[in-house]
């Protein structure tokens, strides 16, 4: 009888949550905001705990899921009718890269470091910060990227040109610290790095927020502030 009770409650919980997902729409699945994440955890707890609590039956599970569905539905209506509530309940997108410049204040507010930013960019097939004109961190944690026009307009295939060897950009300085492994793998040293920084009016590594190097190209450097020398 115990296994029968668990089986009935599990099947009921499955169909109740399935119906709830259909009612609320696909946004609960495809756009997981902080509020949606909390909703998913609570719904899982409601059904999961009820399965092993002998004093909780199908009616109690159904009531809890139904009540939570009403609260979610009211919240969805609020975000549709009152625009001011969207920022609090769903958050809002943040412009992380604006006109090719990284907004460090936005990164700090969103608890995002440079390595996480690069990871997000690579998911959009962007391997160099130099290619990005705008990057927007969406409310679900994904990133939307607009590339600079010079890397968007035309390809070698469009011009019937033969393939060209592609080099992977490497970060040599991240947040004022040298990534020695990357520097060594490229066959470079600290003397070369400091000389490159000097040619771009940076007097020291500590002034550099990010430095990226693609073999055959000039070192791309972005400082905490614009160099004054």
With bands split at pLDDT 50, 70 and 90, how would you rate the model's confidence at 34?
A: low
Q: Say what the pTM is.
A: 0.56
Q: Would you say residue 213 has pLDDT above 90? A: yes
- pLDDT > 70? residue 21: no
pLDDT of residue 30: 44
Has residue 215 got a pLDDT over 70? yes
pLDDT average, residue stretch 128-132: 89
Please give the Cα distance from 189 to 191 (Å, whole number): 6
Note whether 80 and 107 are same-domain residues: no
What would the pLDDT profile of 37-90 be if each residue is shown by its tens digit? 666 666 677 666 666 666 666 677 677 677 777 777 777 777 777 766 666 666
More confident residue, 223 or 51: 223
Q: Assess whether 112 and 74 both reside in one domain.
A: no
**Same structural domain, 51 and 127:** no
Distance in angstroms (rounded) separating the CA atoms of residues 23 and 75: 13
- Which pLDDT value is given to residue 220? 92
Based on the fold, state whether residues 178 and 195 are members of the same structural domain.
yes
Instruction: Give the end of a domain, one of 89, 117, 141.
Output: 89
Query: SS3 of 179, please?
Result: coil
d(CA 209, CA 223): 5
Q: Are residues 69 and 147 in the same domain?
A: no
Rounded to the nearest 5°, which phi and psi values hold at 31? -125, 85
Instruction: Among 38, 64, 89, identify where a domain stops.
Output: 89
Task: Among 64-78, 134-148, 205-219, name the one with the lowest average pLDDT.
Answer: 64-78
Q: Which domain holds residue 213?
A: 170-223
- Give the mean pLDDT of the chain: 76
Rounded Cα distance, 192 and 210, in Å? 16
Specify whether the CB–CB gap between 5 and 53 falls below 8 A. no
Residue with the two structure tokens 């946004």: 27
Q: Is the pLDDT of residue 94 over 50?
A: yes
pLDDT greater than 60 at residue 156: no
Instruction: Give the whole-angstrom CA distance, residue 218 versus residue 133.
Output: 19
């Amino acid at each position: 009888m115990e296994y029968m009770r668990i089986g009935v409650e599990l099947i009921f919980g499955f169909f109740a949550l399935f119906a709830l997902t259909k009612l609320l729409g696909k946004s609960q699945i495809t756009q997981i905001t902080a509020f949606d994440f909390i909703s998913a955890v609570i719904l899982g707890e409601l059904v999961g705990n009820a399965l092993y609590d002998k004093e909780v039956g199908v009616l109690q599970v159904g009531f809890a899921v139904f009540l939570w569905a009403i609260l979610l539905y009211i919240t969805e209506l609020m975000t549709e009718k009152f625009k001011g509530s969207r920022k609090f309940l769903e958050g809002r997108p943040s412009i992380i890269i604006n006109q090719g410049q990284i907004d460090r204040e936005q990164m700090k507010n969103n608890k995002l470091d440079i390595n996480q930013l690069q990871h997000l960019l690579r998911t959009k097939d962007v391997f160099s910060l130099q290619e990005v004109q705008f990057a927007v961190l969406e409310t679900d944690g994904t990133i939307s990227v607009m590339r600079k026009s010079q890397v968007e307009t035309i390809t070698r295939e469009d011009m019937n040109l033969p393939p060209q060897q592609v080099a992977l950009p490497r970060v040599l300085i991240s947040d004022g610290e040298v990534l020695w492994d990357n520097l060594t793998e490229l066959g470079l040293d600290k003397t070369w790095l400091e000389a490159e920084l000097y040619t771009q009016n940076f007097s020291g590594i500590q002034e550099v927020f990010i430095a990226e190097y693609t073999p055959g190209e000039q070192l791309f450097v972005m400082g905490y502030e614009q160099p004054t020398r």
